[in-house]
Structure 1
Amino acid sequence: MSHNPIRPWRSIERRKSRKIRVGSVEVGGDAPIAVQTMTNTPTEDAAATIAQIERCAEAGADIVRVSCPTVESTAAMPEICRHSPVPIVADIHFHYKRGIEAADAGAACLRINPGNIGSPDRVKEVVNAARANGCSIRIGVNGGSLERHLLEKYGEPCPDAMVESALDHARILDDLGFHDYKISVKASDMFLTVAAYQQLAEVTDAPLHLGITEAGGLRTGTVKSSIGMGNLLWMGIGDTIRVSLSADPVEEVKVGFDMLKSLGVRTRGVNIIACPSCARQGFDVIKTVETLEDRLAHISEPISLSIIGCVVNGPGEAAMTDLGFTGGGKESGKMYISGRPDHNVSNADMVEHIVELVEKKAERLKAQREEGETVAAE
């Protein structure tokens, strides 16, 4: 997926998995790794939920999950699914009827553990509803809610227990001739999660949904998720990801994309390379980067931008990015375009100038992309 013949040490060989669909989004195989998040508004409040989904989609979410614990929540799903700009996954736990209602309401995928929803007849009803509506299924094993018999067998949540649980649920779907499913084996314990995914990746070709569950707040959860999920992605394991943070769902999407961008497996939006700043800086690097991240958040075209405080590393970093600004002059710095020094800009004007350059480049890239898509369609 990210084979780099010039720099082979950057290459990541994706694990081979079968491809399924979550509505319009392909998951698995050679499809881009999809970024997900989950709403935290009351699902029965369709307007609030749709508004949050739209904000997440604007931030780059490919898929959004919505919890459906009650009749009232599934009653709101037709409107939510109709107005959502991205496919919706309905989060179902123990009541099989919610799964049937969500599939009929337009959900693109059901997050459900077949073994937890009762008799084989009930499972069959849910699978039939999914099949009739072109709905895929996500088997979601969680270290904090493993089946009692597995806890008794293994003594505690462990990779073997989580993988056995996942395969038990998968077997139920396979026996019903339903193969459009993906699997997750999440835990709040990063070591347990990574080991479980590594083990699962060896014994199934189902697409894998990655996540470290209940990772924590914005900063600590980001660090924990990046270490755990980053290791797996680096090994080529993972077809869709959700960063679980006690934070705004939009932040989950941003962190997810930043994680994929850092590994070179997705390129969306502006990738800012910046120095940590020191006494050599010719301008306030930290404040400038914070401002630019905010001002450029709306850009979706892939653009690299280096913001370096002085000439020690500035020219070298700028040579590797689309646009670059290096401090060091008297209240001014050098602007680089396509890796080459181009013109000087005052510190006072640099933010507005950089935003203008990035927006113009984004417009050109978008026009080129759309022209290419038109030619391909013809």
Structure 2
Amino acid sequence: MTAPPEVTGSGAVAEPEAALKGMGKKAIQGRSLGQIAWLRLRRDKVAIAGAVVIVLLILAAVAALLLDRVFNVVHPNEFHQDLIDTEFGTLAPKGTFGGMSADHPLGVEPVNGRDILARIFAGSWISLLIASLATLLSVVIGTTLGVVAGYFGGWVDTLISRAMDVFLAFPLLVFAMALVGVMPDTAFGLSSETVRIGMLTFIIGFFNWPYIGRIVRGQTLSLREREFVDAARSLGARGPHILFRELLPNLVAPILVYATLLIPTNILFESALSFLGVGINAPTATWGGMLSDASRYYTMPHFMLWPGLAIFVTVLAFNLFGDGLRDALDPRAR
């Protein structure tokens, strides 16, 4: 029989063994910043819904590329003249709601009868590919120059900051229209589609880097005065080591958040160029090109509804996920 705890004053002092008894043998484990961010993100149902839509869009884009270009199962440019009513010269789809049927759930285009669902499906990989590659290019250039400008300061910061101002004041849409409009259809032995994708990726990505560059520069100005940077300097660390081993890991969170918000902006920009006729050449299916074709048929709203809805859902999903990711990675959030 164990002795009772010693009583001192008005309270009892428990023995250490008694205090630890019943706690179990499993040690208490801490949570990393990534685990904390994931728990916060998982509680945000709206952000998770946006992430699910993004994953489905990526899978659909990969499947569309394989089924259209590799296995030749989807035929987005196939004409169905038998589905077009030519009796009164309107060249409208037969039936109701733009010719919707079991074979063509979203209907067909007027005049040529191409399946709208197949064209939206086939055009998904164009928009996502250009937007993703352009965002990657902007992130690489903007992060590199932003970190260098914020850390070194002086004339380096002045030179890079003035370059940012020049790029931000550049009429990007007009320049893109002029450059893509005079670009040859083929170059270096590449097809017209490949050349257009490469050119649009370069224009959108190269001229959008100042936006993320300014964010990274501002964060670097704050981080370079922190204690861990002073400690690295005191241990003899040089500039490249501090930039890539000390500062850059602490900039991952804002870079990821801004990248998720930059992708939908690039999707809208690519769609705008295709709408204006300086994007991907026909007959390659793109969402902006479909909207451009639909603008001539105001009496057939279904033709404009579906590609516009595809752009809307894609942009909304990325924005919702980006907002949730920003809240999850914010150390001051609760």
TM-score normalised over the length of structure 2: 0.24
Q: What's the TM-score, normalizing by structure 1?
A: 0.22
Larger relative contact order (CA 8 Å, sep ≥ 6): 2
Structure with bigger helix share is 2
Larger Rg belongs to: 2
Higher percent of residues as strand: 1
